[in-house]
Structure 1
Amino acid sequence: MNSTDTTAELLENRKTEASAWFEDLRNQICKAFEDLEDELTGTNADQEPGRFERKTWQRPDQVGETGGGGTMSIMRGRVFEKVGVNISTVHGTFSEQFRKEIPGAEESEGKFWASGLSLVAHMHSPLVPAIHMNTRFIVTSKSWFGGGTDLNPMYEIEAETQEFHDVLKATCDKYDPAYYPKYKEWCDDYFMIKHWNEPRGVGGIFFDYLDSGDWQTDFNFTQDVGRAFLDIYPRLVARHMNENWTEEQREWQLIKRGRYAEFNLVYDRGTRFGLMTGGNPEAVLMSLPPEARWP
């Protein structure tokens, strides 16, 4: 076996390992969210606890052959008004126009492979923050990890914003003390709703093109971002899901959701990537809230 064969085999093993992790993380998150549905005692407790429903999809490539696909996991429950935890593993060829925007795509003649998990949760209670999280591994002639998470409370509690950021900082600091300030700033800049000149939420971390030269360490960091999410977010939900809320608070929640929808349709890179690569529109647009309002 020559070095080229060895490198190709190593890359295939890495693809398999990464996609298996995203599926495992999906399973852990769905279990944690269904547990929260079971534990509700406040508003909506007289309803049946929600459960995830899964739907698989396949995407054809440009010549009509299979280009991979994914599985949507959607729950409409009594705590989670709408939550999606989607995984996908797709491959194919970027259009000549789009490949100019992706590192290494022109050198690979547009060929790509991508696997990842994408999560968005919209809550019944306006006192429980919405959240987004995704992690991914992408391969062209180069390969890298990306992802992050950001918290979107309707009513910010500064101590909980700090708690959320402290968990993310501790995760980043295990790998590089430069990560947290860099990725926090990237998140703040990225999740700015420019036409309103206001942030989408209270931030978090966002990273992309992570290729330090040590694939295993980069993969470990990406896994730990998922574990950090699984540590902090269910705790925040459980803390507030049984509190009573008012119609005025619900109205504000719906207006904030309108801003969220505007960002995802105008600026979100994941939305653009999914639609430009022939992804399932239902899965790509899973992030949109079930109900929103514009004043």
Structure 2
Amino acid sequence: MQMQAERDEAAAWFRVLRDRIVAAFEALEDAGPGSNAPGRFEVRPTQRPEGGGGLMSVMRGGRVFEKVGVNWSAVHGTLSPAAQQAMAARGVPGVKTDPRFWASGISLVAHMQNPHAPAVHMNTRMFWTPGAWWFGGGTDLNPCLEIAEDTAHFHDTLRAACAPHGTDYYDRFKAWADEYFFVPHRGRARGVGGIFYDDLNSGDWQADFAFTRAVGEAFLPAFLPLAEKRMAQPWGEAEKDAQLIHRGLYAEYNLVYDRGTKFGLATGHDAEAVLMSLPPLAKWA
């Protein structure tokens, strides 16, 4: 079950999505408030010593984005014994005897200048082993100052994207996000949720890939209107303080619990690319 054509198709689409989002974010910078130059992404290739690589794209100190990363990768190699064991425990066929893997996807985290504009995360990916394949991903909104209409818009957009692919997809994957993006040692969610899914293999690769594309394509309509609406809203020291404290919570989650962070570091991917999700500044009360 090599699935070379499907793997190539998925990797190419994740790259196209990356390019679209980078262009949209730079256009938002052009329209953003302030007299400083609009931010632009710094792009560099990444390499995984065992095989494959990607593109790391990071913008810092822009008009709208304080820090945003949009990474794409397509990597391959062999799983570590710990990763093999974890996947075998999840029921991945054949992984105990054949540790080869291939994975491709896009990963995005945005931290905003204006505390009224929510931080956001999104990723979609395909994973392959000789005995199995699956898709995973999702997106969640992380405001430090929740605005009910923004939360509603984000979730309504995701609900509409899920509906054509499974009548229960939104409810299932929203509940999964609520569980996954919970910070146990703080007893609270890291944001206002979204959707999260993993190990998606219905037996119909095209259908599952179509859903994964729908999740990726829903991201800009879900998030851009919120950033546009909030990027020039007045704010003061108290709002900025709340933002920095919330970023501390976000950093705790990503370093302690996030599955993607753990996998990226365990499989030897570029550490700077894996950790680009961390905010530029944070504080703990």
Same fold (TM over 0.5): yes
**Following the alignment from structure 2 to structure 1, what is the Cα–Cα distance between the partners of residues 41 and 250?**
23
**Following the alignment from structure 2 to structure 1, what is the Cα–Cα distance between the partners of residues 115 and 17?**
27
Q: What are the superposed Cα offsets for residues 76-101 of structure 1, whole Å, 9 maximum, x if unpaired?
A: 11210000000011111112222011
**Following the alignment from structure 1 to structure 2, what is the Cα–Cα distance between the partners of residues 164 and 119?**
16
Say whether residues 1:147 and 2:131 are aligned partners.
no
Which amino acid in structure 2 is aligned with residue 100 of structure 1?
Answer: Q
Closer, same or farther in 2 for the Cα pair 1:105/1:133, shift >3 Å? farther
1:107 deviation in Å?
4.4
Q: Is the 8 A contact 1:99 1:105 kept in 2?
A: no
Which amino acid in structure 2 is aligned with residue 85 of structure 1?
Answer: V
Match of 2:111 among 100, 104, 122: 122
Name the residue aligned to 2:124.
Answer: 135
Q: 1:104 is paired with a residue of what secondary structure?
A: coil
**Following the alignment from structure 1 to structure 2, what is the Cα–Cα distance between the partners of residues 97 and 263?**
21
**Following the alignment from structure 2 to structure 1, what is the Cα–Cα distance between the partners of residues 223 and 14?**
18
TM-score (norm: length of structure 2): 0.96
TM-score (norm: length of structure 1): 0.93
Name the residue aligned to 1:200.
Answer: 190
Match of 1:50 among 29, 39, 45: 39
Say whether residues 1:26 and 2:15 are aligned partners.
no
**Following the alignment from structure 1 to structure 2, what is the Cα–Cα distance between the partners of residues 105 and 133?**
30
**Following the alignment from structure 1 to structure 2, what is the Cα–Cα distance between the partners of residues 184 and 277?**
28
**Following the alignment from structure 1 to structure 2, what is the Cα–Cα distance between the partners of residues 231 and 145?**
22
1:70 deviation in Å?
1.0
* Aligned counterparts, 1:1-20, within 5 A: 8=2, 11-20=3-12
Q: Is the 8 A contact 2:158 2:222 kept in 1?
A: no
CA RMSD of aligned residues (A): 1.0
* Aligned counterparts, 1:1-295, within 5 A: 8=2, 11-41=3-33, 45-61=34-50, 67-76=51-60, 77-102=62-87, 103-104=92-93, 106-107=95-96, 109-140=98-129, 141-295=131-285
**Following the alignment from structure 1 to structure 2, what is the Cα–Cα distance between the partners of residues 146 and 224?**
12
1:106 deviation in Å?
2.2
1:108 deviation in Å?
5.2
1:32 deviation in Å?
0.7
- Bigger drift between 104-113 and 130-139 goes to 104-113
Name the residue aligned to 1:4.
Answer: none
| Larger-Rg structure | 1
Q: 1:284 is paired with a residue of what secondary structure?
A: helix
Closer, same or farther in 2 for the Cα pair 1:144/1:111, shift >3 Å? same
Q: What is the percentage of aligned positions where both structures have the same residue?
A: 54
Which amino acid in structure 1 is aligned with residue 28 of structure 2?
Answer: L
**Following the alignment from structure 1 to structure 2, what is the Cα–Cα distance between the partners of residues 40 and 70?**
29
**Following the alignment from structure 1 to structure 2, what is the Cα–Cα distance between the partners of residues 84 and 49?**
16
Q: 2:86 is paired with a residue of what secondary structure?
A: coil
Which amino acid in structure 2 is aligned with residue 136 of structure 1?
Answer: R
Q: What are the superposed Cα offsets for residues 8-37 of structure 1, whole Å, 9 maximum, x if unpaired?
A: 3xx100010000001100010011101110
Where in structure 1 are there 5+ consecutive unaligned residues? 1-6, 62-66
Q: Is the 8 A contact 1:80 1:123 kept in 2?
A: yes
Q: 2:58 is paired with a residue of what secondary structure?
A: strand
1:105 deviation in Å?
5.7
**Following the alignment from structure 1 to structure 2, what is the Cα–Cα distance between the partners of residues 129 and 100?**
37
**Following the alignment from structure 1 to structure 2, what is the Cα–Cα distance between the partners of residues 88 and 34?**
21
